[in-house]
Amino acid sequence: MHTPVTIIGAGLGGLTLARLLHLRGIPATVYEAESSPSARAQGGLLDIHDYNGQLALKAAGLMDEFHTIVLEGRQALRLLDRDGTVLLDQADDGTGGRPEVQRGDLRQVLLDSLPAGTVRWGHKAGRIRALGEGRHEVTFAGGGTVVTSLLVGADGAWSRVRPLLSSATPEYIGHSVVETYLFDADTRHPAAAKAVGGGMLIAPMPGRAIFAHREKNDTLHAYVGIAEPQDWFAAIDFADAATATARIAQEFDGWAPELTALITDTDLAPVLRPLYALPAGHRWNRIPGVTLLGDAAHLSAPNGEGANLAMLDGAELGEALAAHPDDIETALTEYEQAMFLRSAEAVTDEMPGIDSAHNTAQGLIDWFTEKGQ
């Protein structure tokens, strides 16, 4: 295959695709809006599943590197009622199929696996237009253009490539999360650290929930879920950290102090993260010379599958292109049909939503039991 592949977005999915193409001798360039790999924090822990994300890493020849960044013990799970009662305390015995890694560490593994110059930093896609016969022109916000015969949108929820294929746009799913961080947790925040344990904590109730991970360097990273419309959050001044923290904590009045400490004791200003999703079963008709992967293709409510699916998308697209080097359209059709089915199945297998009456500790235990987890 002699047609260079143009990938928009240096997230996990786009980088996995670039790695697969590199292994198969197919030239590719990744254009990324961020100015450098360290331009911003890359998020928290990811559980990389043996049935999708790890399959992608195996195809990419990166399992040895992956094992070096796994955080031991982080597959432990605790489910607590809001009064602090522990209903499930599941240890990490090392046999689970979802080892945890820091997103930034995994991204670096993928970046290190690519030839120098594969990623062009500081290239934010602006206007993209079809030129006919499967060719597209990308104009970058800072100037410059590129014309390509194969364009891949790996550019996330607000993809600039998606409109070439679909009129769908992400919609607010009815709840948001507020992120907090507690540093040096065992010494400075011992009650919260004990509540979280060695891995993940979930303390749910209908309409409200606290999730927390024990990350590396003795850090607790919490996601405080609240099911309210966007204008409810707009009334909170997140520029005033103390006021915002107090207002969010107010929604958890009466909860155990070791749980509310994950809000009130934050060492960083709380960060609001509104959550969006594309319509369930999102798909498009085949358009020559362009496709999507990851959140650009199938953004959904957080369910632990997003990063895994993005990497598997990238791996399978790379394999399809390598299998059909003289027939891009056959490769894209093969890839898309499998991806549409896979992403739809992931949505139907989600945990009870935060606004569900089953969003309780016992309700989640029942769900885990039903799924054999």
In order of 103, 223, 360, the CA distances from 202 in angstroms are 20, 10, 9
Each residue's pLDDT tens digit in the chain (373 positions)?
456 899 999 999 999 999 999 999 999 999 999 999 988 887 789 999 999 999 999 999 999 999 999 999 999 999 999 999 999 999 998 888 999 999 999 999 999 999 999 999 999 999 999 999 999 999 999 899 999 999 999 999 999 999 999 999 999 999 999 999 999 999 999 999 999 999 999 999 999 999 999 999 999 999 999 999 999 999 999 999 999 999 999 999 999 999 999 999 999 999 999 999 999 999 999 999 999 999 999 999 988 899 999 999 999 999 999 999 999 999 999 999 999 999 988 876 667 788 888 888 888 888 878 766 5
Q: Which two tokens mark 85?
A: 């009662």
Q: Give the integer Cα–Cα distance in Å for 353 and 359.
A: 7
The pLDDT of residue 349 is 60
Distance separating alpha carbons of residues 121 and 123, to the nearest angstrom: 6
Q: Is 47 annotated as a binding residue?
A: yes
What does the pLDDT read at residue 157?
A: 97
Give residue 2's pLDDT. Answer: 52
Token duo for residue 285: 């008709």
Dihedral class, residue 194 (left if φ above 0, else alpha if ψ from -120 to 50, else beta): alpha
Closest by CA position to 163, among listed 187, 136, 198, 141: 136
In 3D space, the residue among 129, 120, 152 whose CA is nearest the CA of residue 6 turns out to be 152
Determine the pLDDT at residue 356.
Answer: 84
pLDDT reported for residue 3:
63
Please tell me whether 295 is known to bind a ligand.
yes
Work out the burial of residue 91: count CB atoms within 10 Å of its CB; fewer than 13 is exposed, 13-18 middle, 19 or more buried: middle
Question: Residue with structure tokens 């929604």?
Answer: 251
Binding residue per annotation — 40? Answer: yes
**What is the C-alpha separation between 355 and 175, in angstroms, rounded?**
8
93 is in an annotated binding site: no
Please tell me the predicted confidence (pLDDT) of residue 370.
78
Q: Give the sign of the dihedral formed by CA 347, CA 352, CA 354, CA 355.
A: positive
Alpha-helical regions (H) of the chain: 12-23, 53-59, 63-69, 103-112, 185-188, 190-196, 230-234, 241-250, 257-264, 295-298, 306-323, 328-348, 361-371
